[in-house]
Amino acid sequence: MSTQLLVHPDDIRTLFSRAMSDLYRTEVPLYGTLLQLVSDVNHAVLTADAALADGLRDERQLSRLDVERHGAIRLGTAQELQTMRRLFAVMGLQPVGYYDLSVAGVPVHSTAFRPTDDEALGCNPFRVFTSLLRLELIADEGLRQQAAAVLAKRQIFTSRCLELIELSEQQKGLTETQARQFVEQALETFRWHSQATVDFPTYKALREAHTLVADIVCFKGPHINHLTPRTLDIDAVQEGMSRHGMQAKNTIEGPPRRQFPILLRQTSFLALEESIQFLHQASTGSHSARFGEVEQRGCALTRKGRALYDALLGRALEASRSGVPMALALEKTFHAFPDDAVTLHNEQLAFFRYKVNGKRLALQSAAADATTSQLVDGGWLSIEPITYEDFLPVSAAGIFRSNLGNEVRDSYAAQGNQASFEAALGARVLDEIALYEQVQSASLAECLEQIRRQVAEVPV
């Protein structure tokens, strides 16, 4: 290759995410309405709370708020998943986390392709929740074989896209012209096609097995089924959707509303009924798959924090099954989860970045022998929450289920199989909690070294 400059993966990711957003806005006009609603809510929150705006600016969250999106796709074969991993790598996305949705009645397992370092996340935190169909969960062996045969015939990537992926791997990147071609070609994989690849009887049989199976198997490609902007007040967006002609799902997925947000809260407007043409048939039918979602992100939790969260969520789900409204069950159960930053930090329930208070240290250097909690309590260190960049399997399944209509089941007997997913992926998925641990540890080490140097300079 030569002297031509290569485009940074962050810039390719930005080009792609903008193109994807434009595509989805054209295909699903209500998505544009949702973006405007989210923008209005975020503006109102920031105008009313200057301290929050300053905090988000200090935490490098404000600049990414308007561009932040996540999408979701569903793939049918290991080959599709492996190639998708290579496609996402061109724009700096790596597979993070393993999610088993079969326990909630959705016959897929998944990962999230996303940036993993702070600089890339600050530039554009675009993510794609990517699911792989588990054909072994289709009970009817004949139908299972039929679905596999349909999937084996399709090619979801254009030939030029495949060439550019290989070129990027060889060159360690793409030139500007190649990057723009790549975005144009990659977009074709995610485009909606109203022509089904099967006849109506096949579609009907697969849909009876599970609505999601039909959605994955019966079309030319893995149409993007939603794009998700980030809001600062998901309750306000939930209330506003109905005023803007959107049919919102009944409940917000994730933890209840809190003073100190944690993890992820999500809601959506319900999937649209769209006209489709079946193979070898003049008449049309309909299919519902694509919807609009919105999310509010909070602080990432440690393994201890996640264990507490999962235990409380389990209690709330149990209470809801006995007749208590889910919202009320969550509110009551989560009183046991601390709702302020210092307690969450000192009890090692959540992840934080640190910043040294130089003025405090200059006045009193007793910080030299203090523990981290004492440094925070004493004011030598301030803490900033590390944003949760990932997903919650129960919430993801809840969103999926709410957009699949009535044709869902409670669960499958099979459990998750991360090893088989990684074999299909052709790579290991990264441990999301380990990534947060690394960020917190690096931040603390940097601050402790700064304290050590400053204390050493203080005259005795």
What is the model's pLDDT at position 363? 62
Cβ count near 360 (within 10 Å): 16
What is the model's pLDDT at position 46? 92
Distance CA 7, CA 277 (A): 40
Highest mean pLDDT, choosing among 185-189, 216-220, 412-416: 185-189
Q: Give 13's pLDDT tier (boundaries 50, 70, 90).
A: very high
pLDDT tens-digit series, residues 41-97: 999 999 998 888 887 887 777 778 888 889 999 999 999 999 999 999 999 999 999
User: Which residue from 420, 397, 406, 427 is spatially nearest to 268, judged by alpha carbons?
Assistant: 397
Distance CA 243, CA 235 (A): 13
Strand 69-75, strand 127-133: pairing: parallel
The DSSP line for 28-56 is -HHHHHHHHHHHHHHHHHHHH-HHHHHHH
Can you tell me which residue has the tokens 């209005």?
40
pLDDT at 24 over 50: yes
What is the model's pLDDT at position 184? 97
Go through the chain and tell me how many residues it has: 460
Distance CA 252, CA 300 (A): 19
The answer to whether 194 touches 275, Cβ cutoff 8 Å, is yes
- How many CA atoms within 13 Å lie on the side-chain side of 315? 16
Structure tokens given for 26: 């054209």
With a pLDDT cut of 70, the percent of the chain lying above it is 90
- Show the CA angle centred on residue 430, arms to residues 428 and 434, nearest 5°: 145
**For residue 92, what are the CA distances in angstroms to 16, 17, 28, 120, 428?**
11, 12, 27, 8, 16
With a pLDDT cut of 90, the percent of the chain lying above it is 53
Distance CA 196, CA 219 (A): 5
pLDDT at 426 over 90: yes
Can you tell me which residue has the tokens 């993510």?
127
What is the model's pLDDT at position 30? 85
Domains and CATH numbers, the chain: 9-298+389-429 (3.10.180.80)
**For residue 450, what are the CA distances in angstroms to 313, 355, 357, 384, 453?**
40, 10, 10, 17, 5
**For residue 212, what are the CA distances in angstroms to 108, 164, 176?**
9, 31, 37
The answer to whether 105 touches 401, Cβ cutoff 8 Å, is yes
| 99 bridge partner residues | 110
| 273 bridge partner residues | 288
**Helix (H) / strand (E) containing 200:** helix 200-209
pLDDT tens-digit series, residues 372-388: 888 888 888 999 999 99
pLDDT tens-digit series, residues 402-423: 555 544 455 555 677 899 999 9
Number of DSSP helices (H) and strands (E) in the chain, helices first: 20, 11
Can you tell me which residue has the tokens 């048939």?
281
pLDDT at 446 over 80: yes
What is the model's pLDDT at position 5? 92
Highest mean pLDDT, choosing among 170-174, 354-358, 374-378: 170-174
Distance CA 223, CA 191 (A): 5
pLDDT tens-digit series, residues 389-399: 999 877 665 55
Distance CA 343, CA 305 (A): 12
Give one word for 200, left, alpha or beta, with left for phi > 0 and alpha for psi -120 to 50.
alpha
pLDDT at 289 over 80: no
